[in-house]
Amino acid sequence: MKEYWQKALTFDQYMDEAKMRATNNPDQTDEKQEYYELGLQRMERTLKTFKVDEAQMENLKSKKFDGKILIISEPWCGDASATVPAVSRFFIEAGKEVKIFLRDSDLSLIDQFLVNGTQSIPIVIVLNKDFGVINHWGPRPKYGTELLAKFKANPESYPREEFYNDLQVYYAKNRGKDAIEEILELI
């Protein structure tokens, strides 16, 4: 984990990477271009509206957590764009080190944290101070996972567009609170 940590980006570097890909992507044929642009808009909206929940901060303090947070993500991912800024900001404001490892730069890390056999992101890895894995979370809060299950169970009655809309409305209203709460339960 220490090697992945050393290759990972700070949150500010991650945001710089997202901005570069959204506005001046060196790969002019990148099939994810529209998702970089949408992801950046969502991340900036999350950062503007996010406020630390004091009860969650007290909960973290009571746990005496002295580790680090390593997040596997990519700026094009819709779930990540709604979650990564809030989770990062929360733990940074708590005085914890946070880094973000770009999933697509080296798949060997994400392959250790598959979700139902897929390389789903974001994955938040809770590390101790010696880079040992305490636990991990992801790729979305329980409510988002329930919406996905509803869509997969019957896409005719719950079409993809409705699922995506419901998920984004939830993310916009929740502002990362559920994700942070679920991560705190794992510490």
Phi and psi at residue 36, in whole multiples of 5°? -65, -45
In a domain, 33, yes or no: yes
In a domain, 146, yes or no: no
In a domain, 24, yes or no: yes
In a domain, 116, yes or no: yes
- pLDDT for position 26: 87
In a domain, 169, yes or no: no
Q: How many domains does the chain have?
A: 1
Burial class (CB in 10 A: 0-12, 13-18, 19+), 6: exposed
In a domain, 150, yes or no: no
Range of the domain at 50: 2-139+176-186
- pLDDT for position 138: 97
The tokens for 72 are 């596997």
**3-state class of 66 per DSSP?**
coil
- pLDDT for position 153: 97
Q: What is the CATH number of the domain that holds 53?
A: 3.40.30.10
- pLDDT for position 54: 98
In a domain, 16, yes or no: yes
- Residues 6 or more apart from 172 whose CB is under 8 A from it? 45, 82
Rounded Cα–Cα distance for residues 30 and 36 (Å) = 10
Average pLDDT per consecutive 10 residues, the chain (187 residues; last block may be shorter):
98 97 91 94 94 97 97 96 97 98 97 97 98 98 97 96 96 96 98
Return the residue matching tokens 């001046």.
24
pTM for the whole structure: 0.95
- pLDDT for position 144: 96
Phi/psi zone of residue 175: left (φ > 0), alpha (ψ -120 to 50 degrees), beta?
left
Judge whether 168 and 148 are in contact, CB under 8 Å: no
Q: Which residues, in sequence order, are bridge partners of residue 123?
A: 72
Residue 88, CB half-sphere, CA atoms under 13 Å: how many?
Answer: 26
In a domain, 157, yes or no: no
